[in-house]
Chain A
Amino acid sequence: MKNRYLVIVNVALLGALLFMDTGCRTKAGGWRWPWQKDRSAELGAGSLTDPTMLENVDVAKITDEFGGIVGGARFEDTLQAVQGINLSPVYFAFDSYALPPSEVSKIELVAQHLRQNTSHVLVVEGHCDERGSNEYNLSLGENRALSVRSYLVNLGIAADRIQTRSYGEEKPAVAGSGEEVWRLNRRGEFALFQR
């Protein structure tokens, strides 16, 4: 009964739409009739009311300013994670991505592992404490991961075996606040993948 009422109202509204919206000029300069509306215009604000419709679509082809394709090929997308190997995290000072001398020996152990396991590749994960802007912390965490990566490359590990990912402040090792919690969260972690 309710549905029938809606159909009647909708048909009436469709009629009204056809009279009111007598076509429009598209951005590209072509003419578009009301029933040729592009999908985005139809979706409008109302479609946000049904989040279950969220549908994932493919990545566009991306090129740099010289026309070269920017490749993805992330270890996370294509390789299996290596389980059961614990590499100690390295810790950083506040708002800094410089490697403290105390942490260097941990990175040397990672280099040793990579030399001994030539089929393993590495993702260095950069993290920050909860203070400051989430967006800035993502960038800072990436620089932390990159510091560790540079050190490994200087130790002779092939650069294409090491990728980075920043979690910023989004994945703390320890919940809560305070100097000790923050110190443990400003870190670089290691995730191994099998190539």
Chain B
Amino acid sequence: MQRTVFPFLTLVCALAGFFPGVQMRAAGAPPVISVVKKGAEKNTVSLAGLNASGPNGQLFVRILTRNLEISGWFKVAPSGAVRVQGTVSDAGAGVQSACRVTWPGKAFNWNKVSMGGAEVRNQARQLADEMVRLIAGETGIAQSRIVFVNRRGKDNADLYVCYADGQDLMQITHDKVAAVGPRWAPNGRDIYYTSFLNGYPAVFRMVAGTERKALAAFKGLNTGAAVSPDGSTVALILSYEGNPELYVMTLANGRLARLTRTPHGSEASPCWSPDGRSIVYVSDIARSPQLYLVDVVSKKSRRLTYKGSENVNPDWHKNGQIVYATRRGGQYQIARMDPRVGESSCEIVSPAGEYEHPSWAPDGRHVVCSSRSTLYILDTLGDPAVRLLNIPGNWMSPDWSDR
């Protein structure tokens, strides 16, 4: 019985694609979010007129509140210019919502039925994203996800995934071996990473958490996988021809092309430009690890960073900004720069303290990063950093999905 139900349940998930909050995902148009607002001013939103008496309704309100606040656009208050009114009543394991969201000059209705707890949380995230869309012009980050590593001890780690609100945390590998640098593919579904599953570093692709394929398991080092914006090509760090170098592999036919020739350099952490024409990567060819930019067609590299004793872990957003970890005064901080301008545009976006391994949220405003075994969401417009998980453990190397 359960068996026949399951395939239909997957169709239910597919149906979610028709709800307005995720429609852009189905249309395939990448949401490009331009931050039009300077500073971290908020719209006050009141949920006082929202009648949610049951436990599931209260869960809906709690998740909605958290996601509205994480979005950076709202402050939930007893009264406000924006009002969410109506009822969220418990219906079985889920809720039935009949709400109206109003603010001066705008309004929309939100009427939905959800069946289980996970769906209640997802619908609260959809509503939060809809409200952000009305203000920022593009959908919010509530439905995007973050993948990261949990390291338990030496050579003992696994990958986990959660939403931007830190909820629905899920362990997606059960290998208890070292895992490095998980990255989402642009489809927001596949994850590429380096695992020591077979006793040596090899690059794996996980399709929707169900199928895992070794993509590169050559002699020497296999790591650094990053998928191009069009999904056709993956950048890799491989050493099968001698020492670590940057390569690109065409996924359709497995064809490799080498982009660097640095017999005395260690390359790492490739990341594609939004147009897919260049790749920013780390190299220590000038002794300390610094950022370089290579043109994928001409294979010509140029150095991008000089300030700081190390510049590592670059992540390039669709809006053109690169975020990376820069080591200054013996501490890693998170910096942002526009490579079209150069390093003179660099500014530090992390608060005082040690922060590493940044990754852009799809909104181009928030950044997830690690700080001493804890993951934080930073706001480049100045809101205080938010801790992603309230679970003890050694959490590291976060990557935020592109959508």
Q: Considering residues A21, A48, A59, A139, which has the most beta carbons from chain B within 10 angstroms of its beta carbon?
A: A139
Q: Which residue of A lies closest to B249 (CB)?
A: A62
Task: Give bound CA distance, A65 to B49, whole Å.
Answer: 64
Among the stretches B31-39, B58-66, B127-135, B218-226, the one at the interface with A is B218-226
Complex alpha-carbon distance, A41 and B14, angstroms: 8
Give the interface centre of A45, A47, A146, A165 by most chain B CB atoms within 10 Å: A45
B194 / chain A contacts, CB cutoff of 8 Å: 138
Docked complex Cα distance between A146 and B269 (Å): 20
Q: Which of B115, B256, B288 has the most CB of A within 10 A?
A: B256
Are the CB atoms of A165 and B201 closer together than 8 Å?
A: yes
> Which residue of A is nearest B199, CB measured?
A76
Q: Is the CB of A11 within 8 A of B8?
A: yes
Is residue A22 within 8 Å, beta carbon to beta carbon, of the partner chain? Answer: no
* Residue numbers in A under 8 Å from B200 (CB-CB): 74, 76, 165
Interface size, B (range): 35 or more
Given the contacts A133-B313, A136-B289, A143-B266, A54 and B173 also touching, CB distance less than 8 Å? yes
Contact present for B266 and A20 (CB under 8 Å): no
B208 engages A47 (CB within 8 Å): yes
Chain B residues 251-278 with CB under 8 Å of chain A are 253-258, 266-269
Is B12's CB within 8 Å of the partner chain A? yes
Asked whether A138 lies within 8 Å of B284 as measured between CB atoms, the reply is no
Chain B residue nearest in CB terms to A56: B212
Instruction: Please tell me if A72 contacts chain B, counting CB pairs below 8 Å.
Output: yes
Decide if A7 is an interface residue (CB 8 Å cutoff): yes
- With both chains docked as a complex, state the minimum distance between the C-beta of B317 and any C-beta of chain A, in angstroms: 19
The smallest beta-carbon distance between A163 and chain B, in angstroms, is 6
Q: Mark B175-215, 1 if CB is under 8 A from A, else 0.
A: 00010110000001100001010111100001111111111
Verify if B385 is at the interface (C-beta below 8 Å from A). no
B240 interface residue per 8 A CB criterion: yes
Contact A48 B10 (CB under 8 A): no
- Of A85-93, A108-116, A170-178, the segment with at least 4 beta carbons within 8 Å of chain B is A170-178
Q: Are A43 and B8 in contact (CB under 8 A)?
A: no
| CB-defined contacts of B13 to chain A, threshold 8 Å | 44-47
- Does A42 reach chain B (CB closer than 8 Å)? yes
> Whole-angstrom distance between the alpha carbons of A139 and B171 in the complex?
27
**Residue in chain B with minimal CB distance to A125:** B200
**B221 A138 Cβ-Cβ under 8 A:** yes
Among B172, B198, B221, B244, chain A packs the most CB atoms within 10 A around the CB of: B221
Given contacts A17-B15, A138-B223, A170-B178, contact A143 B212 (CB under 8 A): no
- Selected from A45, A72, A133, A166, the residue in CB contact (under 8 A) with B312 is A133
Size of the A side of the interface (Cβ < 8 Å), in residues, is 70
Partner of B220, one of A14, A42, A62, A165: A165
A143 to B283, CA, bound (A): 12
Give per-residue flags for A73-99: 1 if the beta carbon is below 8 A from chain B beta carbons, else 0: 110110000000000000000010100
Contact of B256 among A7, A51, A53, A62 (CB under 8 A): A62
Q: At the interface with chain A, which of B69-77, B95-103, B153-161, B344-352?
A: B153-161
Residues of B within 8 A of A95 (CB): 284, 287-289
Contact across chains for A47 and B210 when beta carbons are under 8 A apart? yes
> Do B170 and A48 touch (CB < 8 A)?
yes
B210 in complex: contacting residue of A7, A55, A63, CB < 8 Å: A55
Decide if B396 is an interface residue (CB 8 Å cutoff): yes
A134 to B220 Cα, complex, angstroms: 17
The reply to whether B198 and A77 contact each other, CB–CB distance below 8 Å, is yes
Write the chain A residue with the least CB distance to B242: A146
Q: Which residues of A contact B391 (CB under 8 A)?
A: none
B residues 264-318 in Cβ contact with A at 8 Å: 266-269, 282, 284, 287-289, 310, 312-313
Q: Which residues of A contact B1 (CB under 8 A)?
A: 3
Report A's interface with B, CB cutoff 8 A. Answer: 3, 6-7, 9-11, 13-14, 16-17, 20-21, 37, 40-65, 67, 70-74, 76-77, 95, 97, 132-136, 138-140, 142-143, 146, 163-168, 170-172, 175
Q: List 27 contacting pairs A-B, 8 Å CB cutoff, sorted by A.
A: A10-B9, A10-B11, A10-B12, A40-B207, A41-B14, A42-B10, A43-B208, A48-B208, A51-B170, A54-B173, A54-B206, A56-B213, A64-B256, A133-B282, A133-B310, A134-B396, A135-B312, A135-B313, A136-B269, A139-B237, A139-B266, A139-B268, A142-B220, A163-B219, A167-B196, A171-B155, A175-B153
Known: A43-B207, A59-B215, A142-B244; 10 extra A-B contacts, CB below 8 A, are A59-B217, A77-B198, A136-B266, A138-B268, A146-B243, A166-B201, A166-B220, A167-B201, A168-B180, A171-B155
The 9 closest A-B pairs by CB, nearest first: A46-B13, A10-B8, A170-B178, A139-B266, A43-B208, A48-B209, A133-B312, A142-B221, A165-B200
